[in-house]
Amino acid sequence: MLWPCVLALLLKTASAQPAPGTAPATQAKERDISGTFEFDPGYRRDSFNYNIASHFPGIAAPNVLSEAAWQRLLIYEFDFRMHVEINHGLYAKWKLGFGNIDAGTVQASDYGADGRTGEWSRVLADAKFGHTFDTSLGFGYRIKLGRHDETSLIPLLGYSYDKQTLSMRYGTQVLSSCPPSPPFPAGTCAAPLGNVAGLDSSLKALWTGTWLGLDFETKAFDHFLIGAGIEHHFHAKYKASGNLNLRTDLQHPISFTQAANAEANNVLLSVRYLPANNWSIGLIAERQEWAAGPGTHTYNTIAGSTPNSLNKVRWNSMAGTLSLQLRH
């Protein structure tokens, strides 16, 4: 990944000593590059769900055939952030985050009629085995406001890459019956009630795309810096693959794939205390709301591929982190 190398090179250039005989104006220009490094440990709470519809040839099928919902995912997260500013205007920021899912549940349901009615199968399982990865790069220009330049706006254009690996283990079949036939094949029934032995299914989801954003910063009470930021992801893509390990009629480890266009709105708020010019400590709160669909959901069966309709995918996230910032 070249993003951190590019930003680090800019900072290295800023700290280099000028050659002997360099004109004072040139020296000042070389020093006119600043940057910050942040280390942000914290927790976030996520939810993720998708639902699909099926197309039985010539027969009306449920508009929600199957649904999987990961809820109350508690994720320990560590973020690294870097900001570089050139000539008090040109601006770049980069974020890299890693998370480990410590707790959560998942529910998988199948329906026999429209509107999530006629539920004939429901499994509840543990979702604490998984992880997340997030990175984002943005470029913009700082516009200073106020008499003393203590307030600024930064319009931004960027690109993001967010990945989740979600799990489904230690399941319990809590609802079991047989769906109507047709549209379902005769003899289709859920597993018996009780423990689902050997359940170890997973989903790998990826969200990528460009975004437009606006950051706001202002100083308050001499030693405090208040910040806010918004992002709209207007040209994003969602892709996913899943492994349904107990389905003998499907291929493994990729039992199905999903694809759809996506969009998102993200909001960030921060408060920092600056006891000195070269470091600060603060708190960051961040909210993300992602949605994708309609799109495609394709089962990879032993006999070949079976296309279905992906209705909707939703991913919501709320994070709170402690931030230690070093200023260069």
- Per this entry, what is the length of the chain? 328
In a domain, 28, yes or no: no
How far is CA 274 from each of CA 147, 224, 226, 271, 280, rounded to the nearest angstrom?
A: 21, 6, 11, 10, 4
Provide the percentage of residues in the chain whose pLDDT is more than 90.
77
Is residue 30 a part of any domain in this protein? no
* H-state helical runs in the chain: 3-15, 24-31
Range(s) of the domain holding residue 218: 37-327
What pLDDT is recorded for position 185? Answer: 83
- Per-residue pLDDT tens for 241-299? 999 999 999 999 999 999 999 999 999 999 999 998 899 999 999 999 999 999 999 99
Q: Look at residue 26 and tell me if it is in a domain.
A: no
Residue 198 lies in a domain: yes
In a domain, 4, yes or no: no
Q: Is residue 19 part of a domain?
A: no
Model confidence pLDDT, tens digit, residues 166-181: 999 999 999 999 998 8
* Distances 243 to 116, 153, 163, 173, 294 between C-alpha atoms, Å: 24, 45, 16, 18, 21
Global pTM exceeds 0.85: yes
CA atoms within 13 A on the CB side of 208: 5
Residue 22 included in any domain: no
**Percent of the chain beyond pLDDT 70?**
89
12 domain residue, yes or no? no
Return all residues near 147 (Cβ < 8 A) that are at least 6 apart. none
Q: Domain holding 300: CATH number?
A: 2.40.128.90
Number of domain units in the chain: 1
